[in-house]
Amino acid sequence: MAVRSIPSRADRTHICNDPKGIFITTTLVVAFNPEYLTKIDRVYVIQCYYMEMQNKLEKQISVSMAPPPLQTQQVPMPVCRYEVLDGSPEGPPVFYAKIGQMVYHKWTCDAQTDNQFCMKVHSCTVDDGNGDRVELIDSDGCAKDKYLLQNLDYVSDLMVGKEAHVYKYADRQSMFFDCQITLTVKEPGEQYCDVPQCPDPPRRRRTSQNATLASSLAALRTLPTAVEPEAKESEPEELPTNFIINPEQTQKTMWIGDHFTISQDSLCMSPFGVSSLTTVNLILMGASGILFWNAFRVVKSLN
């Protein structure tokens, strides 16, 4: 008996998509004699299907590791101060000043770490305490009026200053000078801090006599530490003419007005006024003592 597979056109392979796999078909001949076909020989058609199977094998595993060490360091913020010095950055502090005196505005911040912070002085205003406010430095750190305060000098990363002349409100006893300081962290590798790039400040425009009076009074109003820049000798003609007082408009003040100044919250006296008041008090106290002693003697004699 011989078994053989007869190749034929019927032998074929199909690829199936539903279900996914391979379908193979072949013909198998079983004969007792390899040369002849007899009645007992058989022909078998064999079909095989190999189905493709997809199995996802999953295994969940958790990997843990020690948390990274956390290193913390607290960097203290710089301590800033504002000073008014006499004439220069190295001058002594000024506590009492006269109008026209040259002083130096100085803002300084002290940091424990070097080359890490930058500072910017901005939004400087002067106020008389009653809501009359004048802006000297804007939010960008630039001066608004060259006759009030020039653009500030950035001496170092944490030092800013500018010299100017002292001025004050013409009709107020006190004033308030306010500035803001912004501190930023210097970028790594940055050598210098960014400072405000400001043009030369303009002169405030005055459109009418009332506006001239209001803005000029505002320019005079400042703290004892507030200043106005040094005036140039070539610009005296810009002084408003309505501020020139003729001799016939002046009036001689009384003696008490020369030595005493009384306001709502203070009493100012000159040294001569203090001496005069002390003398008057001593005379009154002496006279009161004499009258009391005479009255005591009279009462004692009557008893």
Q: Which pTM value belongs to this model?
A: 0.47
- Three-state DSSP state, 295: helix
- Per-residue model confidence (pLDDT) at position 181: 93
- Per-residue model confidence (pLDDT) at position 191: 84
User: 115 — alpha (psi -120 to 50), left (phi > 0) or beta?
Assistant: left
Rounded to the nearest angstrom, the gap between the alpha carbon of residue 91 and the centroid of all alpha carbons in its chain is 28
How far apart are the C-alpha atoms of 157 and 150, rounded to whole Å?
Answer: 19
Q: Where are the domains of the chain?
A: 2-51, 79-185
- Letter for the amino acid at 36? Y
Residues in the chain: 303
How far apart are the C-alpha atoms of 40 and 31, rounded to whole Å?
Answer: 8
- Per-residue model confidence (pLDDT) at position 273: 72
- Identify whether the C-beta of residue 3 lies closer than 8 Å to the C-beta of residue 9: no
Look up residue 282 and give its two tokens.
């001593």
Query: Tokens 């009030």 identify what position?
Result: 148
Cα end-to-end distance, the chain, whole Å: 177
Look up residue 237 and give its two tokens.
């003609």
Q: Which fold has domain 79-185?
A: Immunoglobulin-like (2.60.40)
Low-confidence ranges of the chain (pLDDT < 70): 1-11, 203-270
Query: Tokens 């300081």 identify what position?
Result: 181
Closest CA to 111 of 191, 186, 200, 6: 186
- Per-residue model confidence (pLDDT) at position 104: 93
Query: Tokens 């019927």 identify what position?
Result: 10
